[in-house]
Chain A
Amino acid sequence: MDPKGEISEIRERALSEIASAQDEEEIESLRIAYLGREGRLTMILRSIGGLPENRRAEVGKEANAAKKAIEDALKDAQEALAQQPRKPSLDVTAPGVPVNLGTRHPLRLVLDEVLDIFVAMGYSIAEGPEVEEEWYNFTGLNIPEDHPARDMQDSYYVGQDLVLRSQTSPIQLRYMQTHAPRLPVRIVGPGRTYRRDTEDPSHSPVFHQCEALLVDKGVHMGNLRGTLTEFARRLFGDAVNVRFRPSYFPFTEPSAEVDVTCTNCWERGCSTCGGQGFMEILGAGMVHPRVLENGGYSPDDVSGFAFGMGIERLAMIKFGISDLRSLYRNDLRFLRQFGGRLR
């Protein structure tokens, strides 16, 4: 047979076999079959020496070209194979390996959000003792000696003259006293508070409040309305309205209960808001002149507003919790729902 024809045939065949090779092993055996020591093309190359001289160059050239082509094809096939996905498919719907995440307590979530809002509005955070002197909890806040709140019925006492603070308002007095006469006074004061209430779905003898106080020259009730509207919208969304009802607190005058649009019914009235369309969220007012004086400021020169909110109540509204006690039971199955943060 004509060696040139044979070379061409070997080359065609090798290339076609390589093209249909399925895996590394097959490629390797093809390499051996054609280019190995006993390979078909190797044999041809070896036999070139036996050819007439005038054909050697011609056939040798042909054979080397074939060898190169086969080598290239093997290399390409190998590379192509290497790029081809070989691992089995996954069931992508099977559960991932869980990252173990804990949760903030719902009261922390709400309190952090409230604090963040006020900090963003320029307020500083101030704290105070929970076991408080009577003066800071009552007298200094314009709560007179014979006021029912001072009664042993309503407030917890520690020893003779110390009281478990019944509101976070003592923080106002303590802060003003250390800050006076500098202006403005602008603080939020979070913390635990205590009242002798029987535990029920809306009362707890230990609860959390957050207090806010702004004292400066020319602060007025319109500012209180503006601030609380801003606060309520940041907390409950831009669509809520805020409304004030006159009320009474010894440490503010005028005093108001502040309601915000019920986010369950949007003012249509529902069972959540008792048909009111609004939910009471906090108590507020203009700081009573005597409280300003007790804080070391002259009510003739400065004015201020203050408000205080119950964190449990806000949490109940935000999360739709109907029984306050569940916040203190700390059932892990309950707590595990509070992943993430509020903003």
Chain B
Amino acid sequence: MKASYRWIQRVSPTDQSAEELARTLTFLGLNVESVTALAEVVPDGTVMAEILEVEDGGEGPPVCRIDAGDGPVTVVSRAPNARPGVFVPYVPPGSTMPDGARVESRDFGNVTSAGILCSAGELGIPGGPTEYLLEVPVANPGADAVETLGLDDWILDFDLTPNYATHCQSIVGIAREANAKLGSGLHWPTPESVEGTGGSSARVQILDSDGCPRYSAMVIEDVVVAPSPWWLQRDLLASGIRPINNIVDVTNYVMLETGQPLHAFDLDLLEEGRIEVRRATDGERLVTLDGRERILQPEDLVIADGRRPVGLAGVMGGENSEVHAGTQRILLESAHFDPVRVLKTARRLALQTDASIRFEKGADPEATVWALSRVAEILARILEAPRPGPVQDLYPNPPERRSIPFDARAINSLLGTDLDRDRIIGYLGRLGFRYREDAEAFEVPSWRSDVHMPVDLSEEVARLHGYNEIPAALPRTEVMGYVPDAQSAAERDTVEYLVAAGFHEVITRSWMPPGSLEVLGTPEDHAFRSLLPVTNPMRDDQSWLRSTLLGDILRVLREAKGVHGGARIFELGRVYVPRELPPVSLPEEPLRLAIGATGPVSPPHWARSEMPEIDYYFVKGVLEGLLDAIGVRDAHCVPTDAHFLYPGRGAALVVSGQVVGHFGELHPAVAKRSDLDETVVIGEIDFAGVVDAAEAHIAVSPAPAYPSAGRDVALVVDESITHREIVDCMREAAGPLLEEVRLFDIYRGRPIPADKKSLAYHLIYRAPDRTLTDEEVEDIQVDVLQALHDKLGAELRS
């Protein structure tokens, strides 16, 4: 909401500047977003001028003789209200208008027009009317227009949180807060009663008192619709509201002033001249003031006349009963509506108005008659001879005043302060809370629908005292240091390890990138396809939560194509696995580790020959190192037919007998669909599965005391025989004295036959308690070779 600084200042006469006041209010909780000058662009030298006479200009525009302080000046003006005896702003030649145009003397036939008479809009006041001259009834010719017209004002733009929106969407509400903090006084408008001076009574009926707990109304006859006087327009403009006509302007003015939304109906347009407040019937239609037809539902509350809706309660009036140029009798509405009903209707119709934003936060039910009287008072002041009728006030069930027990100690102990009772009573008193000594309680003012509990009082005290005045102190509580659980510790270790291994961490969003299941070639019944649907995505790419991190890994790799030095990335993030569809219970959210790598194993360097490219074995080494780093000992790889991996060039990672994930070279079809190279290596691993297998225990044996004995052997085996089979066979045959087996070469090609390969191993033998003799080692070695021959058909390579 926007509010005029000068207007606030009139109600609570603070000497703080607009900027200072904005800051004070912000630190009270009334967040001021911006402060802008009302007359920022008013042309230099603009002064007040009296129009002395107006002559018909013949073919040209009418010619005005004016007095701008230095004797008569001639200016032309087509404005309808240019007439002798009024005072208007005058911009002399030489000044520059807000639109950048330079003001000069101009010839119109036989007259020379020296300067411009201005409308509010032409002076650059945002929202100012442009169709007539800004006029005031009294002024000194030649006086500074900015001062005379009250343009030295600032617009405070508030962004209020819901708890202050209840009672601070008004000048009075803001001034009340300013006064509570600054003690600057509070000049509450107390309208003089003007009711019952001849007008007829309003005929009103409430048919839905849940939706409308109170309806106050008044008829005023003999009104003349015209532009509002400048002082009224000015206050509206400085509060961001565009003047329309005197009737509408006064209702807006009083809404701004008191926070009570008001509406004026043209009484003669109300069928049967009466009002009823009721639920809409299903499908009922109403054209609102903005010219749009609204189709209503029974939850909507309408103001109806004898036959049809004439307004959407608390939201917007209807076109059919709008005040217009010829209106003579009005019915003023000042009502209280249920906040939730107003909110729902305004939301459903996407129709937020000055009235609805006040009602939906909870307006003051006690303000209706006050505001109505204020409207009548102002109309009596600005109209010739209006005839207001009596106030009709339907308020079937006034709520009881809430009281909240007062406990100064509780307030102090929550805030960490040491304020004495009187001070607290003073703080709350200035906000309108009445202390009742007999009951040891505060009576909550009617405008504070946000205050219900003792803690609400604590907040009021805290903000008036000043949050930043509360002494800061670290809490004194028993401290028990935190020891991370296995998974969090492993998470950190994993990130640290992979970073040290040259991998960059990526963090991607939780959605399943559209089309990624297809890109990955995911089979119909695969677990990746069990996706959790988002009920209300904002975009198509938010329709599903991800079941795999691989879609995003491929995207990041694709976008990294051409980045110097290749790419190695990982993400440690959750995927979302529904337990049933449609989802009713919480899904599983397992943490996954995904990696992707391509490019040289190490950055190129001037002193090194060409670097080998990342391949399956590189990534396998990284993963083996990771498992080692987090304490997983029981792990191995087996061939896999995972759909996204190159057939025969990827593995399933088996940890403690469980497959926890897959990695390997990218399937050529997946590579093609994702615009990547086949040499890309990717993988995804269930992190919990890995962590569960980690051993917290580290088995230690003493460093060897006796030397080892090494033997090299080159074997020729069928292509189908795996390294793992060979090692298992060696170990079984050799027994515990075989300490280590190292593969140091795999060779294919002549003279090895085509369907065979040669593997060269270095075997290390050692006994814990003695130096092995050559004969001992030789004996074992013979057994090993025999077993390799018998079980795997391995021959020694000659």
Interface of A toward B, CB cutoff 8 Å: 94-95, 97-98, 100-105, 107-108, 112, 119, 122-125, 129-133, 146, 151-152, 156-162, 164, 183-184, 186, 192, 194, 196, 198, 204-206, 214, 216, 218-223, 225-227, 229-230, 243-248, 253-256, 286, 288-289, 303, 327-333, 335-336
Q: Is B458 an interface residue (CB 8 A)?
A: yes
CB distance from A286 to the nearest CB of B (A): 6
A336 surroundings in chain B (CB, below 8 A): 504
B574 surroundings in chain A (CB, below 8 A): 130, 192
A226 surroundings in chain B (CB, below 8 A): 472-475
15 additional A-B residue pairs with CB within 8 Å, beyond A220-B415, A226-B473, A229-B472: A94-B606, A94-B607, A95-B606, A102-B570, A103-B504, A122-B477, A122-B479, A131-B545, A156-B537, A158-B545, A162-B584, A162-B586, A221-B416, A227-B474, A254-B463
A198 surroundings in chain B (CB, below 8 A): 538
Q: Is B414 an interface residue (CB 8 A)?
A: yes
In the complex, A130 Cα to B510 Cα: how many Å?
Answer: 10
Instruction: Tell me the count of chain B residues lying within 8 A, CB to CB, of chain A.
Output: 89
Closest chain A residue, CB of each to CB of B582: A159
B482 touches A123 (CB 8 A): yes
B28 touches A246 (CB 8 A): yes
A332 touches B413 (CB 8 A): no
Within 8 A of A (CB), among B572-626: 574, 576, 582-584, 586-587, 589, 601-603, 605-608
Q: Given A206-B510, A223-B416, A286-B414, answer yes or no on A184-B477 (Cβ-Cβ < 8 Å).
A: yes
A119 touches B482 (CB 8 A): yes
B343 touches A146 (CB 8 A): yes
In the complex, A85 Cα to B538 Cα: how many Å?
Answer: 72
Closest chain B residue, CB of each to CB of A192: B510
B584 touches A98 (CB 8 A): no
One of A107, A146, A223, A255 near B474 (C-beta < 8 A): A223
In the complex, A245 Cα to B26 Cα: how many Å?
Answer: 7
A133 surroundings in chain B (CB, below 8 A): 586
Closest chain B residue, CB of each to CB of A299: B455
B586 touches A289 (CB 8 A): no
One of B533, B536, B603 near A98 (C-beta < 8 A): B603
One of B164, B467, B503, B542 near A248 (C-beta < 8 A): B164
Within 8 A of A (CB), among B448-497: 453, 455-456, 458-459, 462-463, 467-468, 470-475, 477-482, 484, 488, 492, 495
Closest chain B residue, CB of each to CB of A290: B453
> B526-544 CB contact bits vs A (8 Å, 1 = yes)?
0000001111111000100
> B546-570 CB contact bits vs A (8 Å, 1 = yes)?
0000000000100110010001111
Closest chain B residue, CB of each to CB of A289: B455
Q: Given A131-B576, A254-B459, A332-B560, answer yes or no on A157-B504 (Cβ-Cβ < 8 Å).
A: no
B498 surroundings in chain A (CB, below 8 A): 102
One of A159, A244, A327 near B467 (C-beta < 8 A): A244
One of B417, B458, B560, B583 near A222 (C-beta < 8 A): B417
9 contacts between A and B (CB under 8 A): A100-B602, A108-B495, A130-B510, A205-B542, A286-B455, A289-B455, A329-B559, A330-B506, A330-B508
Closest chain A residue, CB of each to CB of B555: A330
A248 touches B506 (CB 8 A): no
A95 surroundings in chain B (CB, below 8 A): 605-606
CB distance from A306 to the nearest CB of B (A): 13
Q: Given A152-B536, A160-B582, answer yes or no on A253-B475 (Cβ-Cβ < 8 Å).
A: no
In the complex, A95 Cα to B481 Cα: how many Å?
Answer: 45
Closest chain A residue, CB of each to CB of B572: A108
Q: Given A206-B509, A221-B470, A245-B27, answer yes or no on A331-B559 (Cβ-Cβ < 8 Å).
A: yes
In the complex, A71 Cα to B793 Cα: how many Å?
Answer: 65
Closest chain A residue, CB of each to CB of B412: A220
Q: Which 5 A-B pairs have the closest CB atoms?
A: A222-B416, A246-B29, A220-B416, A100-B502, A248-B161
In the complex, A157 Cα to B463 Cα: how many Å?
Answer: 36
B340 surroundings in chain A (CB, below 8 A): 146
Closest chain B residue, CB of each to CB of A194: B510
Interface of B toward A, CB cutoff 8 Å: 26-29, 31, 161-164, 340, 343-344, 347, 413-417, 453, 455-456, 458-459, 462-463, 467-468, 470-475, 477-482, 484, 488, 492, 495, 498-511, 532-538, 542, 545, 556, 559-560, 563, 567-570, 574, 576, 582-584, 586-587, 589, 601-603, 605-608
B576 touches A218 (CB 8 A): no
A245 surroundings in chain B (CB, below 8 A): 26-27, 29, 31, 467
Q: Given A97-B605, A159-B583, answer yes or no on A107-B507 (Cβ-Cβ < 8 Å).
A: yes
B506 touches A105 (CB 8 A): yes
B459 surroundings in chain A (CB, below 8 A): 246, 253-255
A-B pair number, CB within 8 angstroms: 232
A223 surroundings in chain B (CB, below 8 A): 416, 473-475
B586 touches A131 (CB 8 A): yes
In the complex, A247 Cα to B417 Cα: how many Å?
Answer: 19
B556 surroundings in chain A (CB, below 8 A): 330, 332
B584 touches A159 (CB 8 A): yes
B605 touches A102 (CB 8 A): no
B463 touches A246 (CB 8 A): yes
Q: Given A244-B468, A248-B164, A327-B507, answer yes or no on A97-B607 (Cβ-Cβ < 8 Å).
A: yes
A102 surroundings in chain B (CB, below 8 A): 498-505, 568, 570
B603 touches A100 (CB 8 A): yes
CB distance from A314 to the nearest CB of B (A): 14
B455 surroundings in chain A (CB, below 8 A): 253, 286, 288-289
B161 touches A247 (CB 8 A): yes
Closest chain A residue, CB of each to CB of B567: A332
A186 touches B477 (CB 8 A): yes
Closest chain A residue, CB of each to CB of B496: A104
A104 touches B416 (CB 8 A): no
Q: Given A98-B603, A129-B586, answer yes or no on A225-B533 (Cβ-Cβ < 8 Å).
A: no
CB distance from A295 to the nearest CB of B (A): 16
A131 touches B587 (CB 8 A): yes
B536 surroundings in chain A (CB, below 8 A): 152, 156-157, 196
CB distance from B546 to the nearest CB of A (A): 11
Q: Given A131-B586, A330-B556, A332-B569, answer yes or no on A103-B535 (Cβ-Cβ < 8 Å).
A: no
Q: Given A186-B477, A220-B413, A222-B470, answer yes or no on A103-B542 (Cβ-Cβ < 8 Å).
A: no
Q: Which of A159, A204, A243, A245 has its CB near the most chain B CB atoms (within 10 A)?
A: A159
In the complex, A159 Cα to B463 Cα: how many Å?
Answer: 41
CB distance from A214 to the nearest CB of B (A): 6
In the complex, A82 Cα to B542 Cα: how many Å?
Answer: 73
Q: Given A158-B535, A244-B467, answer yes or no on A101-B499 (Cβ-Cβ < 8 Å).
A: yes
A256 surroundings in chain B (CB, below 8 A): 467
A122 touches B482 (CB 8 A): yes
Q: Given A124-B482, A245-B29, A247-B29, answer yes or no on A219-B606 (Cβ-Cβ < 8 Å).
A: no
CB distance from B735 to the nearest CB of A (A): 40
A230 touches B474 (CB 8 A): yes
CB distance from A293 to the nearest CB of B (A): 12
In the complex, A107 Cα to B504 Cα: how many Å?
Answer: 13
One of B501, B534, B567, B570 near A164 (C-beta < 8 A): B534
In the complex, A112 Cα to B535 Cα: how many Å?
Answer: 33
In the complex, A146 Cα to B361 Cα: how many Å?
Answer: 12
B343 surroundings in chain A (CB, below 8 A): 146
CB distance from A64 to the nearest CB of B (A): 47
In the complex, A214 Cα to B570 Cα: how many Å?
Answer: 34
In the complex, A332 Cα to B538 Cα: how many Å?
Answer: 28
Q: Which of A158, A218, A247 has its CB near the most chain B CB atoms (within 10 A)?
A: A158
B478 surroundings in chain A (CB, below 8 A): 184
In the complex, A333 Cα to B564 Cα: how many Å?
Answer: 9
Closest chain B residue, CB of each to CB of A228: B472
One of A160, A205, A243 near B468 (C-beta < 8 A): A243
A108 touches B417 (CB 8 A): no
A157 touches B507 (CB 8 A): no
In the complex, A248 Cα to B473 Cα: how many Å?
Answer: 23
In the complex, A289 Cα to B502 Cα: how many Å?
Answer: 49
In the complex, A231 Cα to B86 Cα: how many Å?
Answer: 64
A194 surroundings in chain B (CB, below 8 A): 510
